Amino acid sequence: MIKEGVYLGKRYEILGRIGSGGMADVYKGKDHKLNRYVAIKVLKSDYRNDQVFIQKFVSEAQAAAGLMHPNVVNVYDVGQDRGLFYMVMELVEGITLKDYIEKKGKLSAKETISISIQMVTGLQAAHNHHIIHRDIKPQNIIISKEGKVKVTDFGIARATTATKTISTSVMGSVHYTSPEQARGGVVDEKSDIYSVGITMYEMITGHVPFDGDSTVSVALKHLQEEMVSPAEEVPDIPYSLECIIMKCTQKNPERRYHDCASLIQDLKRSLVDPDGEFVTLGAVPGDSDRTVVMSTEEIRQLQGQDYDEDEDDEDYDSDYDEDDDDDDEDDREYGGRRRKKKDVNPDTKKIMRILMIVAGVVIALLILFLVGNAVGLFSGPGLATSNEEDTVRVPDLRGMTEDEAREELSKYELGMDVAGEEPSNEYEAGEIKSHTPGPDETVERHTTIEVILSTGEEAETVAVPNVVNEEESRAEQMLRDAGLKVTKGEAQYSSDVEEGYVISCNPDVGTEVDEGSSVEIIVSLGTQPATVPKLTEGTAAEAEAALSEAGLTGSATEEYSDDVAEGIVISQSIDPGTEVSRGTTVSYVVSRGPETKIVNVPDIYGMDEATASQTLSRNGLVGEYAGESFSDEYGAGQICRISPTVGTRVSEGTVVQYWISVGPENTGESDTPDSGTDTGGNTGS
Give the catalytic positions in this structure.
135
Nearest-angstrom CA–CA distance, 193 and 187: 11
SS3 350: helix
SS3 524: strand
Note whether 591 and 567 are within 8 A (CB). Answer: yes
Nearest-angstrom CA–CA distance, 681 and 638: 11
Give the type of residue at 95.
Answer: I
Q: What is each CA distance from 39 to 68, 85, 533, in whole angstroms?
A: 16, 14, 25
Q: Which residues of 294-322 are buried (b: 16+ CB within 10 A; e: fewer)?
A: ebbeeeeeeeeeeeeeeeeeeeeeeeeee
Q: What contacts 585, CB < 8 A, 6 or more positions away? A: 552, 553, 554, 555
φ and ψ at 97, to 5 degrees?
-60, -35
Nearest-angstrom CA–CA distance, 430 and 405: 11
Q: Which residues of 457-490 are buried (b: 16+ CB within 10 A; e: fewer)?
A: eeeeebebbebbebebeebbebbeebebebeeee
Nearest-angstrom CA–CA distance, 57 and 78: 9
Note whether 109 and 235 are within 8 A (CB). Answer: no
Give the type of residue at 651.
Answer: S
Q: What is each CA distance from 599 to 64, 453, 603, 649, in whole angstroms?
A: 42, 105, 13, 6
Nearest-angstrom CA–CA distance, 303 and 305: 6
The DSSP secondary structure of 633-646, one letter per residue, reads: SS-TTSEEEEESPT
| Angle, helices 239-248/260-272, rounded to nearest 10 degrees | 170
Give the type of residue at 561.
Answer: S
Nearest-angstrom CA–CA distance, 621 and 495: 58
